[in-house]
Chain A
Amino acid sequence: MTTMATTISVNGTSVTRQVEPRTNLVDFLRGELGLTGTHVGCEHGVCGACTVLMDGATVRGCLILAVQASGRDVLTIEGLSEPGHRITKALQEAFVLRNALQCGFCTPGILVTATELLTQDPAPSRELIREAISGHYCRCTGYHAIVDAVQQAADVLAATQGPA
């Protein structure tokens, strides 16, 4: 079995592990690093549970190999939950207030996608929010509460930031 030395910056810390090329990024995060906040569902790109940020853009952790992420910056829900990530924090609070999660399986992935959305567009329409989360399956909430929560987080962020 060949393995390759793979160095990835994960949540701001550079980590090196010897991995098989077939190890995908989400298994690297969960298995090698114990970062189990990123979930694994379908393993073919449709459910969105494994979504993380790589170099600031969302990617599917199940469709990218750890060796491909070598040399890149990866942010997971654990990193985004650290102080300083005000968008993610506002989203997390809004998800609680709006009952936008039940079992929570889909939640980390949706929070990562919503963080990317509000970073690029601080005041998205409901249609845009729906389009952004269309790459995520939630089997519990029926999505409306998630759209409400993302919109509420955007409103709260706009209010706390004051007029531009």
Chain B
Amino acid sequence: MKPAPFDYVRAESVHHAVRLLAENKDGARIIAGGQSLMTAMNFRMSSPALLVDIGELEHLRDITLTADARLRIGALTRHADLDASPDIAAHTPLLRKAIRHVAHTAIRNRGTFGGSLSHADPASELPACVMALDATIHIVGPDGDRVVPARHFFTGVHETALGAGEVLVAVELDVIKADEVSGFGEFARRQGDYAMVGLAAHGRIAAGLLTAVDLAFFAVGSTPILARRAAAALVDPATPDPAQRLQRAREALSLDLDPPDDPQSSAAMRMELARVLLGRVVGDMLARGAGA
């Protein structure tokens, strides 16, 4: 189908975009890569009166190391940039692992980091990654700038802490340290499809054992979910055997997750896939060891 008619403005700066959003209240919508918004508009599930295109704000596409050794990734960083950037590969390999699972090349050439987080699809990869990495989300709005922890950013299906009229400008995260390791896996029906179940994980290793880990499961609820009980079992000092830790973690997962039933996959199947994925991802992290 075709979208309903609308007006279109290319924003000249973030503040210009914020002003346009404020002046047009409910009728205005940001477009970044358009890879989710255009599909919704073509189906007329969304019919904004004004599109504010931030896609030409090239400075929002930068990836920089900050003075306090954090990586700042601009909201307009394309999925393809995440894939190609040596800084991403070296400093936050989790994003590099995850990005190849997002859609297909033509969509990765346009879709943006900020767009994916703002869109907050429960089955999408990047929201889970920023939760596992405990990243911060940097926002500019009519009342100035603010920073929201990624773990408080996702509030529901396609719902986030972004207020009307606010623009997500960047994500910041700690660069990976020598004793840290990250892991990623998902089950999807076809290459590039949204996940049926996915897991983004980041942890610390000493003497072949995990000493800390964050497990962000996605496509198992309305937002990515941190599996805290499973994570605690994986690092339990009282259990020295990694296989036993994993077994306890798999059991604990049913306390962390309560996946929904849908026509694509039943709750029981999702739960089983989450357990399988936990084993694979943790096994891979332990096998590779720290630093990757």
Give the interface of A toward B (CB within 8 A). 1-2, 4, 20-22, 24, 27, 43-45, 48, 51, 57-60, 62-65, 67-68, 113, 116, 130-132, 134-135
Contacts and interface: CB of A to CB of B under 8 A. Distances in A.
B201 interface: no
A60 B55 contact: no
Q: How large is the interface on B (under 10, 10 to 19, 20 to 34, 35 or more residues)?
A: 20 to 34
A1 B6 CA distance: 9
A65 B34 CA distance: 9
Nearest to A55: B109
A27 B271 CA distance: 44
Interface string B14-40: 000000000000000001001100110
B170 interface: no
Interface of B: 1-8, 31, 34-35, 38-39, 41-43, 51, 53, 55, 80, 103-107, 109-110, 190-192
Contacts of B105: 58, 113, 116, 132, 135
Contacts of A27: 2
B106 A48 contact: yes
B8 A135 contact: no
A4 B182 CA distance: 47
Given A116-B105, A131-B191, A63 B34 contact: yes
Contacts, number: 83
B184 to A, nearest CB: 16
B39 A45 contact: yes
A135 B104 contact: yes
A135 to B, nearest CB: 3
B109 to A, nearest CB: 4
Contacts of A43: 1-2, 42
19 contacts: A22-B2, A22-B3, A22-B5, A22-B41, A24-B42, A27-B2, A43-B1, A44-B42, A45-B39, A48-B106, A58-B105, A58-B106, A60-B106, A62-B38, A63-B34, A63-B110, A134-B104, A134-B192, A135-B107
A62 B37 CA distance: 12
